[in-house]
Amino acid sequence: MVLISLTCPTCHETDVVKYGQTSDGKQRFYCQNAQCPRQTFLQDYVYQGKIPEVKQQIVDMTMNGSGIRDTARVLHVSPTTVIATLKKRTRTSVSESENVVPCTTRSLPCRTQESL
């Protein structure tokens, strides 16, 4: 048996377990940290800014009043990534922004408050 030192890419906890495989045979892992907004992840994500989920978090945090640097720090991406993501989102997110839900009614924990 081989033990891999593995951490959750979102909360960096080591409390992760194997959680089946993706359709293309990659090992999926499950984060057992109850505070963590991420539940499953793959081992070979290299950079968080590339993950669609993180891009959505960037948009969500910005709409909830976090600055670009706050967002970058909390999500462990570069401020440049935050800006680039927001620029790409500008045209497509117009209709989404009308449906902004307050943090408290979301199923995910609100990361914005932790950064304050």
d(CA 24, CA 16): 21
Judged by CB under 5 A, does residue 7 bind Zn ion?
Answer: no
Size of interface with Zn ion, in residues (CB under 5 A) = 7
Residues 22-81 that bind Zn ion (CB under 5 A): 31, 33, 36, 38
Helices (H), 1-116: 52-63, 68-75, 79-92, 111-114
Beta strands 16-21; 27-31: pairing state: antiparallel
Of 17 and 94, which has the nearer Cβ to Zn ion?
Answer: 17
Tokens of 25: 């045979």
Stretch of residues binding Zn ion (CB under 5 A), selected from 5-13, 61-69, 87-95, 102-110: 5-13
Rounded to 5 degrees, φ, ψ at 19 are: -145, 60
Judged by CB under 5 A, does residue 11 bind Zn ion?
Answer: yes
Q: Which residues bind Zn ion (CB under 5 A)?
A: 8, 10-11, 31, 33, 36, 38
